[in-house]
Amino acid sequence: MRIGYITKEDPNNVRAYSGTHFAMYQALKGEFKEVIPLGPIDHWYKNVAKLKGKFHTFGNEKTFKYQYDIKLAQIHAKQLDEKIRKLKPDVLLGSLVSPEVAFLTTDVPLYLTTDATFPLLQDLYQSHSNLHSLSIRNALILERMAFEKARKLILPLDWLSTSAQNNYRIPKSKIEVIPYGSNLASPIENDVQNLIKKRVESEELTFLFVGVRWEEKGGPEAVGIIKELNRNGIKAKLVVVGSTPDIQEDCVEVIGFLDKQDANQLSKLIELYQSSTFFILPTKAECVGMSFIEAASYGLPTIGSNVGGVPEAVIDGETGIIIQRNDTSDMIAEKIFQIWKNDSEYERLSSNAFSRYSEQMNWKNWANRVKEVLSKEVI
Protein backbone atom coordinates (compact mmCIF):
# COMPACT_ATOMS: atom_id res chain seq x y z
CA MET A 1 0.00 0.00 0.00
CA ARG A 2 1.38 3.41 -1.07
CA ILE A 3 0.31 6.11 1.36
CA GLY A 4 0.26 9.81 0.51
CA TYR A 5 1.20 11.74 3.67
CA ILE A 6 -0.26 15.27 3.70
CA THR A 7 1.31 17.91 5.94
CA LYS A 8 1.38 21.67 5.58
CA GLU A 9 5.07 21.76 6.56
CA ASP A 10 7.90 19.60 5.25
CA PRO A 11 7.70 16.24 7.12
CA ASN A 12 11.49 15.93 6.83
CA ASN A 13 11.87 19.00 9.05
CA VAL A 14 12.45 17.86 12.65
CA ARG A 15 11.24 21.24 13.96
CA ALA A 16 7.96 21.26 12.02
CA TYR A 17 5.11 21.22 14.52
CA SER A 18 7.51 20.33 17.36
CA GLY A 19 8.69 17.26 15.48
CA THR A 20 5.30 15.56 15.26
CA HIS A 21 5.13 15.49 11.45
CA PHE A 22 8.65 14.06 11.25
CA ALA A 23 7.95 11.43 13.92
CA MET A 24 4.74 10.35 12.16
CA TYR A 25 6.54 10.19 8.82
CA GLN A 26 9.31 7.97 10.18
CA ALA A 27 6.80 5.70 11.95
CA LEU A 28 4.66 5.34 8.82
CA LYS A 29 7.72 4.43 6.73
CA GLY A 30 8.29 1.55 9.12
CA GLU A 31 4.83 0.09 8.41
CA PHE A 32 3.95 0.92 4.81
CA LYS A 33 5.56 -0.16 1.55
CA GLU A 34 5.95 3.46 0.46
CA VAL A 35 5.14 6.79 2.10
CA ILE A 36 4.88 9.71 -0.31
CA PRO A 37 5.20 13.16 1.29
CA LEU A 38 2.68 15.57 -0.21
CA GLY A 39 3.87 18.56 1.81
CA PRO A 40 4.94 21.25 2.23
CA ILE A 41 1.89 23.16 1.00
CA ASP A 42 2.34 26.82 0.17
CA HIS A 43 1.11 29.45 -2.31
CA TRP A 44 1.73 33.15 -2.82
CA TYR A 45 -2.00 33.82 -2.41
CA LYS A 46 -1.50 33.60 1.35
CA ASN A 47 -0.13 37.16 1.14
CA VAL A 48 -3.42 38.28 -0.37
CA ALA A 49 -5.26 36.51 2.43
CA LYS A 50 -3.12 38.36 4.96
CA LEU A 51 -3.98 41.70 3.33
CA LYS A 52 -7.66 40.77 3.44
CA GLY A 53 -7.20 40.14 7.14
CA LYS A 54 -5.79 43.62 7.67
CA PHE A 55 -8.78 45.07 5.86
CA HIS A 56 -11.30 43.12 7.93
CA THR A 57 -9.63 43.98 11.23
CA PHE A 58 -8.92 47.66 10.49
CA GLY A 59 -10.19 49.77 13.36
CA ASN A 60 -10.79 46.86 15.75
CA GLU A 61 -8.73 44.48 17.85
CA LYS A 62 -9.99 41.24 16.35
CA THR A 63 -7.55 38.66 14.95
CA PHE A 64 -7.92 37.39 11.39
CA LYS A 65 -6.44 33.94 10.70
CA TYR A 66 -5.45 33.90 7.05
CA GLN A 67 -5.04 30.11 7.25
CA TYR A 68 -8.83 29.82 7.21
CA ASP A 69 -9.31 31.89 4.05
CA ILE A 70 -11.69 30.02 1.75
CA LYS A 71 -9.96 30.99 -1.49
CA LEU A 72 -6.58 29.93 -0.09
CA ALA A 73 -8.06 26.58 0.96
CA GLN A 74 -9.37 26.04 -2.57
CA ILE A 75 -5.95 26.81 -4.06
CA HIS A 76 -4.19 24.43 -1.64
CA ALA A 77 -6.68 21.67 -2.47
CA LYS A 78 -6.03 22.17 -6.18
CA GLN A 79 -2.28 21.90 -5.58
CA LEU A 80 -2.80 18.68 -3.65
CA ASP A 81 -5.14 17.22 -6.28
CA GLU A 82 -2.44 17.77 -8.91
CA LYS A 83 0.22 16.06 -6.75
CA ILE A 84 -2.12 13.14 -6.07
CA ARG A 85 -2.89 12.66 -9.78
CA LYS A 86 0.83 12.69 -10.57
CA LEU A 87 2.07 10.46 -7.72
CA LYS A 88 -0.91 8.08 -7.56
CA PRO A 89 -0.97 7.01 -3.88
CA ASP A 90 -3.42 4.28 -2.85
CA VAL A 91 -4.59 6.13 0.24
CA LEU A 92 -4.16 9.55 1.86
CA LEU A 93 -3.40 10.45 5.47
CA GLY A 94 -3.55 14.13 6.36
CA SER A 95 -2.04 15.47 9.58
CA LEU A 96 -3.40 18.81 10.87
CA VAL A 97 -4.53 19.90 7.41
CA SER A 98 -8.30 20.38 7.62
CA PRO A 99 -8.30 23.71 5.69
CA GLU A 100 -5.95 22.35 3.03
CA VAL A 101 -7.99 19.20 2.25
CA ALA A 102 -11.51 20.60 2.61
CA PHE A 103 -11.93 21.13 -1.16
CA LEU A 104 -10.11 18.02 -2.41
CA THR A 105 -11.81 16.41 -5.42
CA THR A 106 -9.73 13.20 -5.60
CA ASP A 107 -11.38 9.80 -5.20
CA VAL A 108 -8.35 8.44 -3.31
CA PRO A 109 -9.56 7.51 0.21
CA LEU A 110 -8.71 10.22 2.74
CA TYR A 111 -7.99 9.76 6.45
CA LEU A 112 -7.31 12.61 8.83
CA THR A 113 -5.55 13.04 12.14
CA THR A 114 -5.40 16.20 14.25
CA ASP A 115 -4.49 17.19 17.79
CA ALA A 116 -7.40 19.63 18.20
CA THR A 117 -10.72 20.71 16.78
CA PHE A 118 -11.40 24.38 16.13
CA PRO A 119 -14.11 24.67 18.82
CA LEU A 120 -11.66 23.27 21.40
CA LEU A 121 -8.97 25.72 20.30
CA GLN A 122 -11.45 28.54 20.85
CA ASP A 123 -12.21 27.28 24.34
CA LEU A 124 -8.59 26.80 25.37
CA TYR A 125 -6.17 29.13 23.66
CA GLN A 126 -5.88 32.89 23.92
CA SER A 127 -4.69 32.96 20.30
CA HIS A 128 -8.17 31.79 19.24
CA SER A 129 -10.26 33.69 21.78
CA ASN A 130 -10.59 36.99 19.93
CA LEU A 131 -11.00 35.99 16.31
CA HIS A 132 -12.83 37.93 13.65
CA SER A 133 -16.26 36.46 12.96
CA LEU A 134 -15.25 35.65 9.36
CA SER A 135 -12.29 33.57 10.57
CA ILE A 136 -14.58 31.68 12.95
CA ARG A 137 -17.15 31.07 10.23
CA ASN A 138 -14.53 29.91 7.71
CA ALA A 139 -12.71 27.68 10.20
CA LEU A 140 -15.91 25.86 11.13
CA ILE A 141 -16.89 25.42 7.49
CA LEU A 142 -13.47 24.08 6.45
CA GLU A 143 -13.15 21.71 9.38
CA ARG A 144 -16.65 20.35 8.88
CA MET A 145 -15.98 19.79 5.17
CA ALA A 146 -12.68 18.04 5.90
CA PHE A 147 -14.14 15.82 8.61
CA GLU A 148 -17.09 14.84 6.41
CA LYS A 149 -14.80 14.17 3.44
CA ALA A 150 -12.53 11.85 5.43
CA ARG A 151 -13.32 8.16 5.42
CA LYS A 152 -12.22 8.10 9.05
CA LEU A 153 -10.79 10.42 11.67
CA ILE A 154 -7.78 9.00 13.53
CA LEU A 155 -7.62 11.02 16.74
CA PRO A 156 -5.18 10.72 19.66
CA LEU A 157 -7.69 11.43 22.45
CA ASP A 158 -11.24 10.56 23.47
CA TRP A 159 -11.57 14.27 24.28
CA LEU A 160 -11.15 15.07 20.58
CA SER A 161 -13.49 12.29 19.55
CA THR A 162 -16.21 13.74 21.77
CA SER A 163 -15.71 17.18 20.19
CA ALA A 164 -15.92 15.80 16.65
CA GLN A 165 -19.14 14.02 17.54
CA ASN A 166 -20.74 16.92 19.42
CA ASN A 167 -19.55 19.85 17.31
CA TYR A 168 -19.76 18.29 13.85
CA ARG A 169 -22.10 15.33 14.32
CA ILE A 170 -19.43 12.92 13.11
CA PRO A 171 -20.63 9.38 13.97
CA LYS A 172 -18.52 7.53 16.52
CA SER A 173 -18.14 4.65 14.06
CA LYS A 174 -16.15 7.00 11.82
CA ILE A 175 -13.56 7.74 14.53
CA GLU A 176 -10.57 5.72 15.71
CA VAL A 177 -8.76 6.85 18.88
CA ILE A 178 -5.04 6.02 18.69
CA PRO A 179 -2.62 7.83 21.06
CA TYR A 180 0.34 9.74 19.66
CA GLY A 181 3.94 8.95 20.65
CA SER A 182 6.99 10.80 21.93
CA ASN A 183 9.03 12.96 19.56
CA LEU A 184 12.24 11.96 21.34
CA ALA A 185 14.19 8.77 20.67
CA SER A 186 12.74 5.77 22.50
CA PRO A 187 14.81 4.74 25.54
CA ILE A 188 15.49 1.13 26.53
CA GLU A 189 13.41 -0.32 29.37
CA ASN A 190 16.41 -1.45 31.41
CA ASP A 191 17.91 2.03 31.15
CA VAL A 192 14.67 3.61 32.36
CA GLN A 193 14.41 1.22 35.32
CA ASN A 194 17.99 2.11 36.27
CA LEU A 195 17.12 5.80 36.01
CA ILE A 196 14.15 5.31 38.34
CA LYS A 197 16.30 3.57 40.96
CA LYS A 198 18.90 6.32 40.73
CA ARG A 199 16.23 9.01 41.21
CA VAL A 200 14.98 7.38 44.39
CA GLU A 201 18.44 7.80 45.89
CA SER A 202 18.60 11.52 45.07
CA GLU A 203 18.64 14.02 47.95
CA GLU A 204 17.12 16.84 45.87
CA LEU A 205 13.90 16.86 43.86
CA THR A 206 14.38 18.19 40.34
CA PHE A 207 11.25 19.28 38.48
CA LEU A 208 11.48 19.67 34.70
CA PHE A 209 9.26 22.26 32.98
CA VAL A 210 9.17 22.26 29.16
CA GLY A 211 7.07 24.97 27.54
CA VAL A 212 7.61 27.97 25.28
CA ARG A 213 4.72 30.11 26.56
CA TRP A 214 5.59 30.63 30.23
CA GLU A 215 2.31 32.08 31.52
CA GLU A 216 0.01 29.88 29.44
CA LYS A 217 1.87 26.71 30.42
CA GLY A 218 1.56 27.51 34.12
CA GLY A 219 5.13 28.56 34.81
CA PRO A 220 4.32 30.85 37.76
CA GLU A 221 2.20 28.08 39.31
CA ALA A 222 5.10 25.63 38.96
CA VAL A 223 7.42 28.08 40.73
CA GLY A 224 4.86 28.43 43.53
CA ILE A 225 4.78 24.66 44.09
CA ILE A 226 8.58 24.36 44.16
CA LYS A 227 8.87 27.28 46.61
CA GLU A 228 6.25 25.64 48.84
CA LEU A 229 8.25 22.41 48.92
CA ASN A 230 11.38 24.31 49.95
CA ARG A 231 9.48 26.19 52.65
CA ASN A 232 8.53 22.82 54.08
CA GLY A 233 12.14 21.65 54.24
CA ILE A 234 12.13 19.59 51.03
CA LYS A 235 15.08 20.51 48.83
CA ALA A 236 13.66 21.08 45.35
CA LYS A 237 14.51 23.00 42.19
CA LEU A 238 12.72 23.81 38.95
CA VAL A 239 14.54 23.50 35.61
CA VAL A 240 12.88 25.58 32.88
CA VAL A 241 13.26 24.65 29.21
CA GLY A 242 11.68 26.53 26.30
CA SER A 243 10.89 29.73 28.16
CA THR A 244 13.21 32.47 29.45
CA PRO A 245 11.28 34.07 32.34
CA ASP A 246 13.03 36.74 34.36
CA ILE A 247 13.09 34.94 37.71
CA GLN A 248 15.54 35.60 40.50
CA GLU A 249 15.01 32.50 42.62
CA ASP A 250 17.69 30.14 43.87
CA CYS A 251 15.34 27.21 43.32
CA VAL A 252 14.81 28.00 39.61
CA GLU A 253 17.29 27.27 36.80
CA VAL A 254 16.39 28.71 33.38
CA ILE A 255 17.88 26.78 30.45
CA GLY A 256 15.90 28.42 27.64
CA PHE A 257 15.02 26.98 24.24
CA LEU A 258 16.68 23.74 23.15
CA ASP A 259 16.65 22.97 19.42
CA LYS A 260 16.00 19.29 18.67
CA GLN A 261 17.75 19.71 15.31
CA ASP A 262 20.99 20.51 17.10
CA ALA A 263 22.60 17.26 18.31
CA ASN A 264 24.15 18.88 21.39
CA GLN A 265 20.95 20.64 22.41
CA LEU A 266 18.89 17.50 21.82
CA SER A 267 21.34 15.56 23.99
CA LYS A 268 20.95 18.19 26.71
CA LEU A 269 17.14 17.89 26.60
CA ILE A 270 17.31 14.10 26.89
CA GLU A 271 19.77 14.42 29.76
CA LEU A 272 17.31 16.68 31.60
CA TYR A 273 14.49 14.15 31.19
CA GLN A 274 16.82 11.44 32.46
CA SER A 275 18.09 13.34 35.49
CA SER A 276 14.83 14.96 36.66
CA THR A 277 12.66 13.51 39.43
CA PHE A 278 9.29 14.82 38.25
CA PHE A 279 7.89 16.53 35.17
CA ILE A 280 5.66 19.51 35.91
CA LEU A 281 3.43 21.54 33.61
CA PRO A 282 0.40 23.17 35.31
CA THR A 283 -0.79 24.36 31.92
CA LYS A 284 -3.89 26.46 31.31
CA ALA A 285 -4.20 25.32 27.68
CA GLU A 286 -3.16 21.96 26.23
CA CYS A 287 -4.37 19.62 23.52
CA VAL A 288 -2.40 16.37 23.22
CA GLY A 289 0.49 17.46 25.44
CA MET A 290 3.48 15.94 23.65
CA SER A 291 5.86 16.87 26.47
CA PHE A 292 3.80 14.73 28.87
CA ILE A 293 4.36 11.76 26.56
CA GLU A 294 8.08 12.55 26.35
CA ALA A 295 8.20 12.56 30.15
CA ALA A 296 6.45 9.20 30.32
CA SER A 297 9.00 7.73 27.91
CA TYR A 298 11.64 8.34 30.58
CA GLY A 299 9.51 7.04 33.42
CA LEU A 300 8.89 10.45 34.98
CA PRO A 301 5.86 10.91 37.25
CA THR A 302 4.08 14.01 36.01
CA ILE A 303 2.20 16.90 37.56
CA GLY A 304 -0.30 18.29 35.06
CA SER A 305 -3.57 20.20 35.18
CA ASN A 306 -7.14 19.14 34.55
CA VAL A 307 -7.43 20.83 31.17
CA GLY A 308 -7.78 19.69 27.58
CA GLY A 309 -6.20 16.33 26.85
CA VAL A 310 -3.88 16.30 29.88
CA PRO A 311 -6.00 13.85 31.97
CA GLU A 312 -5.61 11.30 29.15
CA ALA A 313 -1.82 11.79 29.02
CA VAL A 314 -1.45 11.72 32.82
CA ILE A 315 -3.58 9.30 34.82
CA ASP A 316 -4.19 10.79 38.26
CA GLY A 317 -2.83 8.52 40.98
CA GLU A 318 -1.42 6.07 38.44
CA THR A 319 1.22 7.92 36.43
CA GLY A 320 1.24 11.26 38.24
CA ILE A 321 -0.91 14.02 39.72
CA ILE A 322 -3.69 15.97 38.04
CA ILE A 323 -4.11 19.45 39.52
CA GLN A 324 -7.76 20.33 40.03
CA ARG A 325 -9.12 23.86 39.63
CA ASN A 326 -9.25 24.62 43.36
CA ASP A 327 -5.96 22.95 44.33
CA THR A 328 -3.45 25.32 45.99
CA SER A 329 0.34 25.20 45.89
CA ASP A 330 0.54 23.76 49.39
CA MET A 331 -2.00 21.05 48.52
CA ILE A 332 0.02 19.97 45.47
CA ALA A 333 3.28 20.15 47.43
CA GLU A 334 1.79 17.85 50.07
CA LYS A 335 0.74 15.32 47.41
CA ILE A 336 4.25 15.37 45.96
CA PHE A 337 5.76 14.88 49.41
CA GLN A 338 3.51 11.88 50.08
CA ILE A 339 4.76 10.29 46.86
CA TRP A 340 8.40 11.14 47.44
CA LYS A 341 8.63 9.92 51.04
CA ASN A 342 7.42 6.49 49.92
CA ASP A 343 10.00 4.88 47.63
CA SER A 344 7.66 2.14 46.47
CA GLU A 345 4.96 4.68 45.56
CA TYR A 346 7.39 6.79 43.54
CA GLU A 347 8.68 3.69 41.76
CA ARG A 348 5.10 2.55 41.06
CA LEU A 349 4.13 5.84 39.40
CA SER A 350 7.40 5.92 37.46
CA SER A 351 7.02 2.35 36.20
CA ASN A 352 3.36 2.93 35.33
CA ALA A 353 4.29 6.01 33.29
CA PHE A 354 6.89 4.10 31.29
CA SER A 355 4.61 1.07 30.83
CA ARG A 356 1.85 3.28 29.46
CA TYR A 357 4.33 4.83 27.04
CA SER A 358 5.66 1.41 25.99
CA GLU A 359 2.25 -0.18 25.52
CA GLN A 360 0.18 2.70 24.13
CA MET A 361 1.80 6.11 23.70
CA ASN A 362 4.53 5.44 21.16
CA TRP A 363 4.77 6.03 17.41
CA LYS A 364 5.38 2.39 16.49
CA ASN A 365 2.10 1.43 18.12
CA TRP A 366 0.38 4.40 16.44
CA ALA A 367 1.63 3.52 12.96
CA ASN A 368 0.83 -0.17 13.41
CA ARG A 369 -2.76 0.60 14.41
CA VAL A 370 -3.12 3.15 11.61
CA LYS A 371 -2.06 0.46 9.17
CA GLU A 372 -4.69 -1.89 10.61
CA VAL A 373 -7.39 0.75 10.17
CA LEU A 374 -6.39 1.58 6.60
CA SER A 375 -5.99 -2.09 5.62
CA LYS A 376 -9.53 -2.87 6.79
CA GLU A 377 -11.07 0.14 5.09
CA VAL A 378 -9.22 0.43 1.79
CA ILE A 379 -10.16 -2.15 -0.79
The 3-class secondary structure across 172-216, one letter per residue, is HHHEEECCCCCCCCCCCHHHHHHHHHHHHCCCCEEEEEECCCCCC
Identify the segments of the chain with pLDDT beneath 50.
none
- Comparing CA positions, the residue from 267, 134, 280, 150 lying closest to residue 220 is 280
CATH number for the segment(s) 189-359: 3.40.50.2000
How much is the pTM? 0.92
Burial (CB count within 10 angstroms: exposed 0-12, middle 13-18, buried 19+), residue 293:
buried
Half-sphere exposure (Cβ direction) of 127: Cα atoms closer than 13 Å: 8
Torsion-angle region of residue 217: left (phi > 0), alpha (psi -120 to 50) or beta? alpha
The one-letter amino acid at 47: N
26-70 per-position pLDDT tens digit: 999 999 989 999 999 999 999 999 999 899 888 888 999 999 999
pLDDT at 261: 81
Q: Where are the domains of the chain?
A: 2-181+362-377, 189-359
Contact residues for 202 (Cβ-Cβ < 8 A; gap 6+): 277
pLDDT at 184: 87
pLDDT at 378: 62
pLDDT at 102: 98
Q: Which CATH superfamily is domain 2-181+362-377 in?
A: Glycogen Phosphorylase B; (3.40.50.2000)
Do domains 2-181+362-377 and 189-359 share one topology? The answer is yes
- Comparing CA positions, the residue from 124, 105, 157, 147 lying closest to residue 307 is 124
247-299 per-position pLDDT tens digit: 988 999 999 999 888 889 999 999 999 999 999 999 998 988 889 999 999 99
Under 8 Å between Cβ of 286 and 308: yes
The one-letter amino acid at 33: K
pLDDT at 371: 95
